[in-house]
Amino acid sequence: MRSRPLLSRVADSVYWLSRYIERAENVARFVDVNLQLLLDSPAATTARLWQPLVDTSGDAAAFAARYGEANRENVIQFLTFDPENSNSILSCLQQARENARTVRDTISSEMWEQVNKLYLKIHEDLSSYRDDRPHELFYDVKMGCHLFQGVTDSTMSHNEAWNFIRLGRMIERADKTTRILDVKYFLLLPRVEHVGTLLDDVQWAAVLKSVSAFEMYRKRFGRISPQRVAEFLLMDPEFPRAVRYCLSRAGGALHAISGTPLGGFANAAGQRLGVLSSELAYTRVEDIIAGGLHEFLDSLQSKLNLIDDSIFSTFFAMRPLEETANS
């Protein structure tokens, strides 16, 4: 017996619950990696290592207006603890918790307990984390978010709501991988003469670590090469944070939600996602590099935004009753 169609507000809530959890985990990972990167960087370059984190988040204008200088203290406060920054770790966990609260009858009790526990732990230990335990904070956030994802896949029926959770997770993950690859390297490398040096290798290793890809990349390619790093993070079909992998899984979730077979589409979101997945599957990294990696990533981010807009208009936007009745 087929389950009843999901209400649009419920679909919206579980989709954004998943995106906020994924966003919090991504922010925790790349800020923690940046702290580690400071240990391997020349003292003269450490001041340059914080602005890229703000740029990666997409909130550079808001940060500049409120904080000004991008130093260690300001950036960690903005990305981690700032309640006025909707993309800070604390804000993401708070919004994830609120979305989970509104759909407690849809998600499992274990999912609610995990997101609630994670938010309360970070919120209650805020002062001690901020003062002297930043690495412990980021570890707790990463592990807490991983646990939430594991609990979700293990305790929730793999139905329409679960597919919206999977869709949100994969769209958010693909977006963050493109942003980290774009900003992390091109803004961190101090001068052109450092290309090909040990510092250059350290920077590319930081890019990989920012998406938990360092070990899998080394197993696949061995030596770090900028072109191979871009290829791995964009086009690998097996690594779970590669953009191609994320789009493939997002497409699977969207097909399950729409009830359309693979290779077809029922709405603009499915069409745009299918086109973008094919583009990555049939593009060579050499062509991407030749045309400009930044330009390709910028276009990729714009297309991901259009997919998100289409998901909203197709599944979440309120429609007139007569239109709903006839659809």
Which residues does the chain have with pLDDT short of 70?
1-5, 40-47, 127-132, 184-200, 318-327
- What is the C-alpha separation between 240 and 119, in angstroms, rounded? 25
What is the rounded CA–CA span in Å between residue 99 and residue 16?
7
DSSP, res 317: S
Helix, strand, coil shares, percent, the chain, to 5: 75, 0, 25
How far, CA to CA in Å, does 76 sit from each of 51, 68, 131, 238?
11, 13, 11, 32
CA distance 59 to 87: 8
Q: Produce one character per residue of 258-295: b if its CB has 16 or more CB atoms within 10 Å, e if not.
A: beeeeeebebebbebbbebbeebeeeebeebeeeebee
Q: How far apart are the first and last CA of the chain?
A: 21
Asked if residues 49 and 38 have their Cβ atoms less than 8 Å apart, the reply is yes
User: 109, exposed or middle or buried, with CB in 10 Å at 0-12, 13-18, 19+?
Assistant: exposed
**Helices (H) and strands (E) in the chain — how many of each?**
17, 0
pLDDT at residue number 15:
97
- Distance CA(291)–CA(285), nearest Å, equals 10
Predicted local confidence at residue 193, as pLDDT: 43
> What distance in Å separates the CA atoms of residue 144 and residue 127, rounded to the nearest whole number?
19
Q: Which pLDDT score is estimated for 151?
A: 97
CA 225 to CA 242: how far, in whole Å?
16
Q: Which residues of 80-93 are buried (b: 16+ CB within 10 A; e: fewer)?
A: bbbeebebbbbbbb
- Interacting residues of 9 by C-beta distance below 8 A, sequence separation 6+: 102, 316
Yes or no: say if 244 and 253 are a contact pair by the CB < 8 Å rule: no
Q: How far apart are CA 150 and CA 153, in angstroms?
A: 5
Cβ(36)–Cβ(190) under 8 Å? no
DSSP state of 43: G
